[in-house]
Structure 1
Amino acid sequence: MLGEQHREVQDAVRRFATEVIRPVAAELDETERFPAEIYRQMAELGLFGITVPAELGGAGMDVLSYAVVMEELSKGYASVADQCGLLELIGTLFTRYGTDAQRQRWLGPALRAELRPAYAITEADAGTDVSGIRTTATRVPGGWRLDGGKLWIHNAPVCDFAVVLARTDKAAGHRGMSIFIVDAASPGFSRGAKEHKMGQRGSPVGALHFDGVELPEDALLGPEGRGFHIMMSVLEKGRVGIAALAVGIAQAGLEAALAQAKQRRQFGQPIAEFQGLQWLLADMAKDIQAARLLTWDAAVKLENGDPGANMACSMAKCMAGDVAVARSADAVQVFGGTGYVKGYEVERLYRDAKICQIYEGTNQIQRTIIARELLKGNAS
């Protein structure tokens, strides 16, 4: 399925992840530090905005290339891959719906790592159910007034601007939401404390608060009242990204487990010689490959505008997330007590994997989407 260009990208990102990201992954996990130096290097290598057209500052590649990049970055450290995924969603929004002025002001600098974005949807009562958002944007002379807050937002502690979904018409349901670009330097914009997460600790998460933030007319991104539909449309690509990230975590666990199985000896022989462990490794490998192929299939369908792309993206995200959790647990099992000790890679991978079943739409909602598409007759 991968062409020559995909494999060239795969090799280049794999080297970057091996030489630059993986050596500092343990330190980033321990300190919860945002890797600003890696962030800048990723921009220099063109790893932000993989599918954004080259004339807008992106790499101009396809969705399958994005999946390949996300997997390889995640094998180095999933928190770094998260940054690539965030820029991909932001880049997709600006590419499809931004004005030339908005792209010049926000998108270009973001892709060059001169500005750090946040993608702000989630609220206390609006996680999986986005229709429950309460943040409001009210028309005022010359623009808008933004009030409310967001929770669990990636990059909230370090962002320079946020793309915010807000309610602009309380009576219009899904059609009463719009998207706004909010400068973090605006009066009334503030941040909550950085959250201390179980895993992916190098990717900062926190709350954003909007207390009468005044926004100009051109802060509106895309048509008024279409914010919900716009945000949901780009989440399909987000699910491909998270699926690939999950595959990367699982693959890193498999590679660590293989090395350990060959090295560790019990009863006078490497534990790799025991059939029970061989079968465990085989199950890890086949499940990871199945998740990878589902992810690539979803990427191709999304790129081609296939009617089955929505279901394919949910299948990939759901399966890859489950595989990452189950098979990273198996990697810990291969290491035995050592794998349970903080500081070992497989222990971190196990913690990093869990969020893959939760963010970008829980795996429960992915199953609901899959069932809905099946019942509509979209079975392929």
Structure 2
Amino acid sequence: MSTSIALPRFLRIGAGAVEELGSVVAQLAITRPVLVTDAFLTGRGHTSRLVEILSKEGIDAAVFDKTVPDPTTDSLAAGLETIRSHDADAVIGFGGGSPMDTAKALAVLSASGGEMGSYKAPRVYTGPALPIIAVPTTAGSGSEATQFSVITDSATDEKMLCPGQSFLPIATIIDFELTMSMPPRLTADTGVDALTHAIEAYVSRRRNGFSDGLALAAMRTIASHLRRAYRDGDDRDAREAMMLASMQAGMAFSNSSVALVHGMSRPIGGHFHVAHGLSNAMLLPAVTRFSLEAAVGRYADCARAMRIVADTSSDDVAAAALADELEQLCHDVHVPTPRSYGIAEADWNSRLDLMAEQAIASGSPGNNPRVPTAEEIVEIYDAIYSGANT
């Protein structure tokens, strides 16, 4: 049986690669893109820098910098108006996962119309869309290399996974120097997010040989560099390694799938406005312990790739060591529990059944080595609230 693989057509990777954005866009015969970003990057002068780079190639770029963390259907309206008024022929997602997800959604909606909810899984959309160029400024989401966009329904707080090759960037610029100013909290959350992508891609029921290689490589790199980047944001080697690993992990899960962590993470983000990477980090150790028995060998491979255990260690020992290490990593980078993050217990408990229902409806838990019931998902949510092990 064959495996279908989808990747960006162009990749520019390395220090200073952002300076080549104009030539990449010109090569694609794009002349009127909209640069989709956020107010923070505009305030720091980064947006004007990219507009200038594009202008030098004769490219007339408009700017939409009103993206919001964990973008919502309501937040897309102004972006669509910018694209229409500029008569745009492409979108450039510049920033973390939220600006890139916003750019992807705008690319599809501006070309095909409709409501964002009509593009959510299980539908896989491959229809018309504006070309997407991605320029990430964080090392974690992997959105620069994936065929997914995640948008929250403003009416229901449902975090919708919207898949399909129409959401895949045609070109990606990977310049680790853009991540050098990431604060420790963001470094940790996006780094654990990337690790989650790699682990879930490797243990997923939809895994394949192509995604396996990328996932294992990303795990090894993240294990040896995330703590370094967290402790010292000026560590260029660690920043560069994390940026490459994030892209590899993104390519891995985009061509495999995510699983239970992501299925449970999206409702946390949708209901309590917890950043995606952080909600993944809250869940990763507990979900891994829940899942171990169904894929001991696979989780053992992860531990060996991360050099947690010797290659000669038994699968049982290695898999258990992986779960221990994930708990220690989250402790070392100060991942909060939902309680310590500030979510009231009554609010948390009142939404458990709905969150479990939404997690299952996303389809991601069905890719997990151990497919949970709704009751088991509620038990995991209960366990992570105050930090208990599962």
* TM-score, length basis structure 1: 0.26
* TM-score, length basis structure 2: 0.25
Question: Which one has a larger percent strand, Structure 1 or Structure 2?
Answer: 1
